[in-house]
Chain A
Amino acid sequence: MSDRAQKRPFRWHIVVFLAPAVLIYTAIMIIPLFGTLNLSLFARAEDGTRVFVGLQNFRTLFGDDRWSDAFWNATGNNLWFFVIHMLVQNPIGIALAAILSTPKLRFAAFYRTAIFIPAILSFVIVGFVWKLILSPLWGVAPTFMDALGLGDWFAPWLGLERSALTTLALISVWQFVGIPMMLMYAALLSIPDEVLEAAEMDGITGASQFWKIKLPLLLPTIGIISILTFVGNFNAFDLIYVTQGALAGPNFTTDILGSYLFRTFFGFQLQLGDPNMGATVATVMFAIILVGVSIYLFGVQTRLRRYQF
């Protein structure tokens, strides 16, 4: 009797239910990831055969001036792209969520939908629409600014070295501001009324209630938004490609890691693609994102205090 109780039957249902996810993830995520890492350790010899070169590709990427200049340029641009998102997109997203969650606001559902809609649009549409809006020839921006008497302030922002990247970052912010807004909105709604009522009893109302009660409770959500922004920005590619092309003009000032990877891997016009160096760049991008996510997971998330209601 006791023997039978100790020897439990093998629980097949666990395997069966895990299998689809494991198989699909292995096939479309894990194998390609290791394939990429593997590819970065090879090079193509003169006669077209693949030879193992160890870490030589990484040495070229960081040691050869041409490769490393382009790489650090792309990394720097990518950081700036991320900084703009953190400084503009997320505060605006939080502010919008705070405004939307005030009970006095009318048409809240309409605003919520309207602000979120760009996030579901294709990059191609967003890039094309903004290119047209900002076009010095037929765009509404110069006409509109002329009408306001600000015509002299207009410049072909997408074509100038000093403003192109920031302009693109702001376009991306416009597109995605709805996502932090939605997450914050949901988090704000989940704060129980008892907490807020207790705060009111203590005389904390209005803006100070937001800063002292709500914002600390939102910190875990802000952390999640930051990490989503980080991963999204360092994988970004589409908007740059649609508006500026694979050469990320003017003069590579809008080149980010995604567009640099594309040019390296697939080549461009007369430049033939180099899958091995491309895989090297992809591996470094993976490492950057991995380090960023790890810093967040182990450095930030474990210190955040969670409140159970």
Chain B
Amino acid sequence: MTARKTTFAAAAFLLSGTALMAQDVTLTIESWRNDDISIWRNQIIPAFEAEYPGIKLDFQPTAPAQYNSALNSKLDAGTAGDIVTCRAFDASLALFQNGQLADLTELDGMANYSDVAKSAWSTDDGSQQFCVPMASVIHGFIYNADAFEELGLEEPETVDEFFAVLDAIAEDGSYIPMAMGVNDQWEAATMGYANIGPNYWNGEEGRNALIAGEAKLTDAEFVAPFEQLARWSDYLGRGFESQSYPDSQNLFTLGRAAIFPAGSWEIAGFRTQADFEMGAFPPPVQNAGDTCYISDHTDMGMGLNAASPHQEAGRTFLNWLGSSEFANLFANAVPGFFPLSNADVSLDDPLAQEFISWRGECESSIRPFHQILSRGTPNLSNESWGTSANVIRGGQTPEEAGAQMQEGLASWYEPQQ
């Protein structure tokens, strides 16, 4: 009797224990998107938890500039979260090769993505995937539509029209023509060089030629964007040399600047800050009628920490990322981050809709130096930050900038030697 009672009690205890554990699976998500914290906590997480009651999510973002190094240290120390937001290309590939990200090739949800979308998180031969593609960002120029109307300006299509518009704004004098600074350097490279460049090097064609070693950074098509950047400095605000990225955002949203060289990720922030109408135009082409190319950069994916104790729950969550429910939720909650899954998405925000519509009119490309070319030391992507900022500041000529980057690349990249 007593023995049976004890067994029963023990079984009951074990059962309750497993039930408790099943309820207790909490997946911690590592991310650099601290801007999205309220969207995750208020919209995405409740939607997921309602569908999968056994799994709880905890969104734990770090500051963007520290994310990569913080994540690497945490993975090495075994303290990283279960779900890892993946930077595109090499940073995540290195994690996968170290065995720190789980192989997701067999994940059911992977069927929802195109090969282009998956390319940023595949091994070089494309045989294995390690992150679920989540979002891309598109570059262009956001402008103050009220200011354009006031000055009677139209969206420029060619480079000449673009500078004519800038001249007109400068002449009027009530607005700073363009809001950009070079203090943080990456704006100059990302919103400057990588934004306007694809029109010169014909998008993927030029990017692939560079990877294959058939084109050099000293070639005209890679120096020409620098020449345009050098002309920009006349239209930036006073003291742009020490103007930081948040300064530029504030200048624009306060209505003091007319044009903002942008990435689509700005849309959400600008919507809440600016009280004027905004429009957007893609980077201007050289001659009217040229094919336009845009930087439609795979930016964010999500992977599974290989050391996480909750592999099954993690896979359940990653599968859900491929659903059209998540795609719609995410695209509308974070306008400007465009989902990469094949699910149909309708965007409520007209500005975001404008950006995504360029996918139909122009050829998409990704940022020039993110795939393969930034593997060595010196790091080409980081070099381009410095050179782009130097060119705008006037510390370097466009030719010197191209030569410096080419020399750095050739020092370690065989196809360029």
A271 and B65 form a contact (CB under 8 A): no
Give the interface size class of chain A.
20 to 34
Q: Which residues of B contact A270 (CB under 8 A)?
A: 87, 89-91, 369-370, 374, 379, 381-382
Which of A51-59, A118-126, A243-251 is the contact stretch?
A: A243-251
B247 and A135 form a contact (CB under 8 A): yes
* Complex CA–CA separation, A163 to B411 (angstroms): 32
Q: A135-B247, A271-B379 are in contact. Are A249 and B69 (CB under 8 A)?
A: no
Q: Which residues of A contact B89 (CB under 8 A)?
A: 270
B243 and A66 form a contact (CB under 8 A): no
For the complex formed, measure the closest distance between the CB of B271 and the CB atoms of chain A, giving whole angstroms. Answer: 22
Selected contact of A250 from candidates B87, B94, B241, CB within 8 Å? B241
Asked whether A286 is an interface residue with its Cβ less than 8 Å from the other chain, the reply is no
Q: Which residues of B contact A48 (CB under 8 A)?
A: 97-98
B90 and A272 form a contact (CB under 8 A): yes
Q: A156-B243, A247-B385 are in contact. Are A269 and B185 (CB under 8 A)?
A: no
Interface residues as binary, A142-177 with B (CB distance below 8 Å gives 1, 0 otherwise): 100000000000011111110000000000000000
Which of B150-158, B278-286, B386-394 is the contact stretch?
A: B386-394
Chain A residue at minimal CB-CB distance from B238: A136
Selected contact of A269 from candidates B68, B94, B239, CB within 8 Å? B68
For the complex formed, measure the closest distance between the CB of A218 and the CB atoms of chain B, giving whole angstroms. Answer: 39
Asked whether B237 is an interface residue with its Cβ less than 8 Å from the other chain, the reply is yes
B378 and A66 form a contact (CB under 8 A): yes
B382 and A271 form a contact (CB under 8 A): yes
Asked whether A91 is an interface residue with its Cβ less than 8 Å from the other chain, the reply is no
For residues 248 through 284 of chain A, which have their beta carbon under 8 Å from a beta carbon of chain B?
A: 249-252, 266-274
B390 and A159 form a contact (CB under 8 A): no
Q: Which residues of B contact A272 (CB under 8 A)?
A: 68, 72, 90-91, 94
For the complex formed, measure the closest distance between the CB of A221 and the CB atoms of chain B, giving whole angstroms. Answer: 37
Selected contact of B393 from candidates A245, A250, A268, CB within 8 Å? A250
Asked whether A134 is an interface residue with its Cβ less than 8 Å from the other chain, the reply is yes
Selected contact of B185 from candidates A155, A156, A247, A266, CB within 8 Å? A247
* Complex CA–CA separation, A266 to B62 (angstroms): 15
* Complex CA–CA separation, A251 to B182 (angstroms): 10
Chain A residue at minimal CB-CB distance from B241: A159
Asked whether A195 is an interface residue with its Cβ less than 8 Å from the other chain, the reply is no
Asked whether B183 is an interface residue with its Cβ less than 8 Å from the other chain, the reply is yes
For the complex formed, measure the closest distance between the CB of A85 and the CB atoms of chain B, giving whole angstroms. Answer: 22
Selected contact of A160 from candidates B69, B241, B370, B408, CB within 8 Å? B241
Q: Which residues of B contact A273 (CB under 8 A)?
A: 69, 72
Asked whether B377 is an interface residue with its Cβ less than 8 Å from the other chain, the reply is yes
Asked whether A137 is an interface residue with its Cβ less than 8 Å from the other chain, the reply is yes
For the complex formed, measure the closest distance between the CB of B260 and the CB atoms of chain A, giving whole angstroms. Answer: 15
Selected contact of A66 from candidates B186, B247, B411, CB within 8 Å? B411
Chain A residue at minimal CB-CB distance from B411: A66
* Complex CA–CA separation, A244 to B247 (angstroms): 14
Selected contact of B69 from candidates A142, A158, A267, CB within 8 Å? A267
For the complex formed, measure the closest distance between the CB of B43 and the CB atoms of chain A, giving whole angstroms. Answer: 29
Q: Which residues of B contact A244 (CB under 8 A)?
A: 183
B377 and A137 form a contact (CB under 8 A): no
Asked whether B251 is an interface residue with its Cβ less than 8 Å from the other chain, the reply is yes
For residues 143 through 196 of chain B, which have their beta carbon under 8 Å from a beta carbon of chain A?
A: 181-186
For residues 66 through 108 of chain B, which have their beta carbon under 8 Å from a beta carbon of chain A?
A: 68-69, 72-73, 87, 89-91, 94, 97-98
Chain A residue at minimal CB-CB distance from B244: A131
* Complex CA–CA separation, A251 to B192 (angstroms): 17
A156 and B374 form a contact (CB under 8 A): no
Interface residues as binary, B352-384 with A (CB distance below 8 Å gives 1, 0 otherwise): 000000000000000001100010011101100
Q: A157-B242, A249-B386, A273-B72 are in contact. Are A66 and B377 (CB under 8 A)?
A: yes
B97, B183, B240 — which one has the most chain A CB atoms within 10 A of its CB? B183
* Complex CA–CA separation, A98 to B378 (angstroms): 50
Chain A residue at minimal CB-CB distance from B386: A251
A136 and B239 form a contact (CB under 8 A): yes
For the complex formed, measure the closest distance between the CB of B366 and the CB atoms of chain A, giving whole angstroms. Answer: 13
B94 and A159 form a contact (CB under 8 A): no
Q: A137-B243, A156-B241, A159-B243 are in contact. Are A251 and B68 (CB under 8 A)?
A: no
Q: A136-B239, A157-B242, A270-B370 are in contact. Are A249 and B377 (CB under 8 A)?
A: no
* Complex CA–CA separation, A245 to B187 (angstroms): 13
Q: Which residues of B contact A160 (CB under 8 A)?
A: 241-242
Q: Which residues of A contact B395 (CB under 8 A)?
A: 161, 250-251
A267 and B68 form a contact (CB under 8 A): yes
B65 and A245 form a contact (CB under 8 A): yes
* Complex CA–CA separation, A271 to B370 (angstroms): 11
* Complex CA–CA separation, A194 to B344 (angstroms): 91
* Complex CA–CA separation, A245 to B386 (angstroms): 12
Q: Which residues of A contact B250 (CB under 8 A)?
A: 137
Q: Which residues of A contact B90 (CB under 8 A)?
A: 270, 272
* Complex CA–CA separation, A270 to B385 (angstroms): 11
Q: Which residues of A contact B98 (CB under 8 A)?
A: 48
For the complex formed, measure the closest distance between the CB of A74 and the CB atoms of chain B, giving whole angstroms. Answer: 15
A136 and B69 form a contact (CB under 8 A): no
For the complex formed, measure the closest distance between the CB of A25 and the CB atoms of chain B, giving whole angstroms. Answer: 23
For the complex formed, measure the closest distance between the CB of B388 and the CB atoms of chain A, giving whole angstroms. Answer: 11
B242 and A135 form a contact (CB under 8 A): yes
Q: Which residues of B contact A131 (CB under 8 A)?
A: 244
For the complex formed, measure the closest distance between the CB of B300 and the CB atoms of chain A, giving whole angstroms. Answer: 15
B68 and A158 form a contact (CB under 8 A): no
* Complex CA–CA separation, A273 to B76 (angstroms): 13
* Complex CA–CA separation, A160 to B182 (angstroms): 10
B87, B94, B237, B238 — which one has the most chain A CB atoms within 10 A of its CB? B238
Selected contact of A158 from candidates B87, B242, B378, CB within 8 Å? B242
B97 and A271 form a contact (CB under 8 A): no
Taking Cβ atoms with an 8 Å cutoff, the residues of B that contact A are 65, 68-69, 72-73, 87, 89-91, 94, 97-98, 181-186, 237-244, 247, 250-251, 369-370, 374, 377-379, 381-382, 385-386, 389-390, 393, 395-396, 408, 411
20 A-B pairs whose Cβ atoms sit less than 8 Å apart in the complex: A134-B242, A136-B242, A137-B243, A155-B239, A156-B243, A159-B181, A159-B183, A159-B393, A160-B241, A245-B184, A246-B65, A249-B182, A249-B184, A249-B386, A249-B389, A250-B241, A268-B382, A271-B374, A271-B381, A271-B382
- Known contacts A268-B68, A270-B90; 4 further A-B pairs (Cβ under 8 A): A66-B411, A247-B386, A249-B386, A270-B374
Taking Cβ atoms with an 8 Å cutoff, the residues of A that contact B are 48, 66, 131, 134-138, 142, 155-161, 244-247, 249-252, 266-274
9 nearest interchain CB pairs? Answer: A136-B239, A159-B241, A159-B242, A156-B242, A156-B239, A271-B379, A266-B69, A158-B242, A270-B381
